[in-house]
Chains A and B, each alone.
Chain A
Amino acid sequence: MHIMEGFLPPIHAAAWTAVAVPFLVVGARRVVTLTREQPQTRLLLASAGAFAFVLSALKIPSVTGSCSHPTGTGLGAILFGPSVMAVLGAIVLLFQALLLAHGGLTTLGANIVAMAVVGPWVAYGVFRLTRSLGGALTIAVFLAAMLGDLATYLMTSIQLALAFPDPTSGILGALTKFGGVFALTQIPLAVIEGLLTVIVVNLLTQYSRDDLDALAFAHGGAK
């Protein structure tokens, strides 16, 4: 889902950066409050970031014959609420932009909006909705992580379609084109991300009950 360095026109790059900044500020504040008020959850917060670190490093083959990677941002979003993921996701994206030439500094804002804002908020919304409808915890976790992952790639496709509308079929035509590249490839990977997130939540419920209780997880997740 990384939009490559320099591949958004300056106005688009600036606009997406402007969208990302408030989410980063709110997210940073939330991280500070969380570590001050619930210091025992700090290590779990770092682990949620670590999960995103691993998953976004894994390029996985898809049935479309291309490769892409999961994002790993759904886990932290359902544990801590979506706002902290803006910060954790931004760290991952910055690492990849600076050291791997994946994504870039000019496209960092757009990539943060897709992977660290839209994905986590969709994951969080799906989780809360599924739980409030009486869905089992594992089902809610699976759907949240899977749909959050897909939402990220859909957002990237929208960003590219807005910047590069098709000469004949316009923005919608371009959305079909970029969606074909990103969203289709991503479907099996989103399922993988859903399954892996369920595994981690299973391990957390088994070994880390105290931390989950501190976050009031499973009663509906973080506020």
Chain B
Amino acid sequence: MTRTNLLLLAAVLALTILPLLLPVTGGLDEPFAGADGQAEAAILAGHPAYEPWFAPLWEPPSGEIESLLFALQAALGAGLLGYYLGLRRGQGTGRTAGGRPDRTTDVRD
């Protein structure tokens, strides 16, 4: 199972890195721009008169702050997911260890 997961992870890495190595951005004004922003540009290209009628209540004051908050979002998610898997793995180990019932009860600590 671990072996399978490592192979799957390698495939994920390959799919992520491949676009960076291929000459896919040739001729693009802004390589690897966000698709959300491109959609916004596409809207305004077809409907130049459209005025967004509402603005975000707050915007990250700089790209640095934005990346801070994105990193925070990823860290919160990964942290919780890792906690859950680690907890369950530990509980499983405690149970199969056998003959050490004290370990199974306080494994949550």
A side interface size, CB within 8 A: 73
Tell me the nearest residue of chain A to B79, going by C-beta: A50
Residue A60, interface by CB 8 Å: yes
Interface residues contributed by chain B, number (CB under 8 Å): 57
Number of A-B contacts (CB under 8 A): 177
A48 nearest in chain B by CB position:
B81
Most chain B CB atoms below 10 A, which of A2, A66, A200:
A66
> Would B69 and A99 count as touching, CB distance under 8 A?
yes
Bound-state Cα–Cα, A181 to B39, Å: 6
B100 within 8 A of A: no
Chain A interface, DSSP helix/strand/loop, else mixed: helix
| Residues of A43-61 whose CB lies within 8 A of B | 43-44, 46-47, 49-61
Given A7, A182, A208, which contacts B85 in the complex, CB threshold below 8 Å?
A208
- Residues of A contacting B32 with CB < 8 Å? 61, 65-67
Task: Flag the segment in A23-31, A128-136, A184-192 that touches B.
Answer: A184-192
If A106-B54, A191-B15, A202-B5 touch, whether A57 touches B74 (CB-CB below 8 Å) is yes
Q: What are the 3 A-B residue pairs with the smallest beta carbon separation, nearest first?
A: A6-B52, A53-B77, A54-B77
Binding site for A on B (CB under 8 A): 1, 4-5, 8-9, 11-12, 15-16, 18-20, 22, 24-25, 28, 31-36, 38-40, 42-43, 46-47, 50, 52-60, 66, 69-71, 73-74, 76-81, 84-85, 87-89, 92
Q: A: which residues have CB within 8 A of B?
A: 1-7, 9-10, 43-44, 46-47, 49-68, 95-102, 104-106, 156, 160, 164, 166-167, 174, 177-178, 181-182, 185-186, 188, 191-192, 195-196, 198-200, 202-209, 211
